[in-house]
Amino acid sequence: MQAVIMAAGVGSRIKELSNHRPKPLLPINNKPIIEHQVSMLLRQQVKKIIVVVGYKKNLIEEALAGFPIQYVYNPSYRTTNVLGSFWFALPHLKDGFFYAHGDTMFEQSILDKLRDSSADLSLAIDRKFCGEEEMKVKLENNHVVEINKTMNPKNAHGEFIGIAKISAKALSPIKATTEKFIKEGQRHLFFESVIQEIINDGSLLSEAMDITGAKWNEIDTPEDYNQAIELFL
- Provide the residue-wise pLDDT of the chain in tens; the chain has 233 residues: 999 999 999 987 787 776 789 999 999 999 999 999 999 999 999 999 999 999 999 999 999 999 999 999 999 999 999 999 999 999 999 999 999 999 999 999 999 999 999 999 999 999 999 999 999 999 999 999 999 999 999 999 999 999 999 999 999 999 999 999 999 999 999 999 999 999 999 989 899 999 999 999 999 999 999 999 999 98
Which helix (H) or strand (E) element contains residue 232?
none
Alpha helical stretches, state H, 2-102 = 15-18, 33-43, 57-63, 82-89
**pLDDT (0 to 100) of residue 15:** 74
For the beta carbon of residue 149, count every other beta carbon within 10 angstroms: 15
Sort strands 31-32 and 27-28 into parallel, antiparallel or unpaired. antiparallel
Looking at the DSSP bridge assignments, the partners of residue 69 are 49
Which helix (H) or strand (E) element contains residue 194?
helix 192-201
If you ran DSSP here, which 8-state letter would residue 167 be given? -
Q: What separation, in Å, do the N-terminal and C-terminal C-alpha atoms of the chain show?
A: 30
**pLDDT (0 to 100) of residue 13:** 78
Domains and CATH numbers, the chain: 2-231 (3.90.550.10)
Residue partners of 80: CB distance under 8 A and separation at least 6: 74, 187, 188
Model pTM? 0.96
**How far apart are alpha carbons 24 and 5 in whole angstroms?**
10
Instruction: Mark residue 75 as left, alpha or beta (left: phi above 0; alpha: psi -120 to 50; beta: remaining).
Output: alpha
**pLDDT (0 to 100) of residue 11:** 81
Alpha helical stretches, state H, 26-143 = 33-43, 57-63, 82-89, 108-115
**pLDDT (0 to 100) of residue 203:** 87
Cβ atoms of 126 and 145 closer than 8 Å: no
**How far apart are alpha carbons 54 and 76 in whole angstroms?**
8
